Structure 1
């Protein structure tokens, strides 16, 4: 009888321990997971987001962690490919048993893993994408920090059409969920202004096969081309367009392009290119968070240069820790509840605002321009 009781007790303790570990909560640390592109043509995006998050976690851990628990980020390379993102996510949930997923990079990868996330009821926090399906319909376990691609496209249309008076707008896009979201976003923005796209062209993810689409778009003689792609193919498109005579065309990109990587790739051909942004200018040290970000990079990631992508990663990591710090009883459901209860989080001059039916923290979109070989704010 005693032996049976002991065996039962050991079994129950084992179940409790397994559940405890499965949530990624340990006595001295919290495990969180990330799948992102650390190799391949989009690696600058994944590495940038990870660098920003690593810098903040190193800072908070050096200060004693969050309520005495260190944060450990497990990052896995998916090469910006959906199938590998699914494999990574399964490993993170089933083998690493992370508390939540953070900083997923990309629309097609996010779309691929979303069913796994929702089935497991695991928070999907701060994905580096403005995809509409992560916002509409409302999804309880998805927590967006940044503004959406639709909002970015609206801002570009406001500048190109309302301010500049341009009428012939074309779109070059990546042929997947990311590119199609951007394509639909600019179409909607133009329809609000009783306009239609002058031309469209696409390329396949993780390739530089842009020439045929470029030639098709050139026939429409557009005033501006709005691009929904990553930095290498967009740079290839712009460089080639300049070479074949499209000197006066305005090229526009949205934030996911990777501004700093685009600047490096496109060279002199990038002069005048416009990029929409969803975080504040990373060199504006009048903002407390920006100054803090620079100090953290200097102290904990001296090999990382400041930029829009790592700034977003830093913000995402800080917001995660702010939410976590308010939990007396750490669980996934309590984490979501804390977001919806507190609602407003001041990151240091930059505020994220949530609600029970709104899991997008920020709505601001800013425009920047490549001028004299540097990224500068665009005065509207």
Structure 2
């Protein structure tokens, strides 16, 4: 064998060896990573929500999400080829039951993450456990500022606008349009209601003590709030804040009509559903109420030709035929689910809990189909605020009109 032949063969052997090593390294690099609740075929997602009890209207969020994930599995093969197993447990809006559900979902069902839970007190109660276990608690239906605390709770992320900022948003409008207002507040006596009340006071600043002439609280399990509203009316309140969920908000609007009392009335944005709140209260009774809008409304003529709203109405007819599509809780539920789908797509084949949380904390200009077009979602490792854009809107008896 000539020296040239030997060198050629040696060179080819070296190239083959390098190619083999590169392929092996590539295979190792591309190898999927799985954490609890994930595999080559499945991603387990848990939830605890009020399918019964005083906040049962919000169980529709979970119902819509279950239907969406079922559709996603059947029509699109899930996310990145993995089916979503969605386990939604009823907590009846009871904190001890929610804590029990969360532990069971993590320790028995071994879910990858917990998602979309309702309520500030519920999520406040379960977040220390989930954060300590490094289980993502994502896109929860609770707006406390406490859920944007990545330094102390890096595994907990909210969804809707911050309660403090929402209430301060209303306060600015009142200061501008009715600076001599006599303000009354009806609020749920828990972290959720107190957060809104504190935000209102902060927004009013040094005028808060003079302008807020009466506050009345209630427990979520109270059968009615009639007596509180009578007290507020007798205090000559002309601007009323209803910091309550759908059931009590509907009761309040009905009672306002019974009392023939028409103060300027603001609703918490989470209770401003036409189907869940305003229809039960009476559409005529609900005329003029104000709230902060951040999403599209399927009943509003302004969105009649919107492609995403058309898709939603068609999707609801096919996948939830018995549901009232005018109930914005269904659209909200699907909106949350789409955001989680987006995060899981971004996670790719690294489905560790750490990477799922990392993707949620790095959303860049994400456009959710059912949010207002101006509202892009941007999160970062030091700012977990998800939905931040709001517009003030007033109910006209059929749909919402923007005020400013």
Aligned-residue offset at 1:192: 6.4
Given candidates 20, 29, 53, the residue that maps to 2:65 is 53
Partner of 1:314: 334
Aligned-residue offset at 1:342: 4.8
Question: For the pair shown, which has the larger CA radius of gyration, 1 or 2?
Answer: 2
Partner of 1:7: none
Q: Does 2:353 align with 1:338?
A: no
Q: Does 2:289 align with 1:273?
A: yes
Counterpart-to-counterpart distance in 2, 1:121 and 1:111: 16
Q: How does 1:44-123 map to 2 (within 5 A)?
A: 44-47=57-60, 49-61=61-73, 62-123=75-136
Q: How does 1:1-380 map to 2 (within 5 A)?
A: 23-47=36-60, 49-61=61-73, 62-136=75-149, 138=151, 139-165=153-179, 167-191=181-205, 196-246=211-261, 248-257=262-271, 259=273, 260-267=275-282, 268-283=284-299, 284=303, 287-306=306-325, 307-326=327-346, 327-348=348-369, 349=373, 351-372=376-397, 374-380=398-404
Counterpart-to-counterpart distance in 1, 2:165 and 2:296: 15
Aligned-residue offset at 1:369: 2.9
Residue 277 of structure 1 contacts residue 368 of structure 1 at CA under 8 Å; is this kept in 2? yes
Residue 363 of structure 2 contacts residue 377 of structure 2 at CA under 8 Å; is this kept in 1? no
- The verdict on how the C-alpha distance between 1:378 and 1:347 changes in structure 2, with shifts beyond 3 A counting, is closer
Counterpart-to-counterpart distance in 2, 1:378 and 1:355: 30
- 1:45-90 CA-to-partner distances (Å, cap 9, x unmatched) read 122x123323432332211111110112110111111111111111
Task: Structure 1: give runs of 5+ residues left out of the alignment.
Answer: 1-18
Counterpart-to-counterpart distance in 1, 2:206 and 2:382: 26
Partner of 1:5: none
- The verdict on how the C-alpha distance between 1:83 and 1:171 changes in structure 2, with shifts beyond 3 A counting, is same
- 1:238-268 CA-to-partner distances (Å, cap 9, x unmatched) read 322332342x312211122252311122114
Say which is worse superposed, 68-77 or 22-31, in terms of deviation. Answer: 22-31
The TM-score with structure 1 as length reference comes to 0.86
Say which is worse superposed, 73-82 or 322-331, in terms of deviation. Answer: 322-331
The root-mean-square deviation of aligned C-alpha atoms, in Å, is: 2.3
Partner of 1:14: none
- The verdict on how the C-alpha distance between 1:185 and 1:341 changes in structure 2, with shifts beyond 3 A counting, is closer
3-state DSSP of counterpart to 1:377: strand
Tell me which of the two structures has the higher relative contact order, counting C-alpha pairs closer than 8 angstroms and 6 or more residues apart. 1
Task: Structure 2: give runs of 5+ residues left out of the alignment.
Answer: 1-32
Counterpart-to-counterpart distance in 2, 1:106 and 1:32: 18
3-state DSSP of counterpart to 2:160: coil
- The verdict on how the C-alpha distance between 1:318 and 1:166 changes in structure 2, with shifts beyond 3 A counting, is farther
Residue 103 of structure 1 contacts residue 127 of structure 1 at CA under 8 Å; is this kept in 2? yes
- The verdict on how the C-alpha distance between 1:261 and 1:192 changes in structure 2, with shifts beyond 3 A counting, is farther
Aligned-residue offset at 1:378: 3.2
Residue 225 of structure 2 contacts residue 251 of structure 2 at CA under 8 Å; is this kept in 1? yes
Residue 281 of structure 1 contacts residue 377 of structure 1 at CA under 8 Å; is this kept in 2? no
Aligned-residue offset at 1:140: 1.1
Aligned-residue offset at 1:270: 2.2
Q: How many matched pairs?
A: 358
Aligned-residue offset at 1:356: 1.3
Counterpart-to-counterpart distance in 2, 1:353 and 1:192: 33
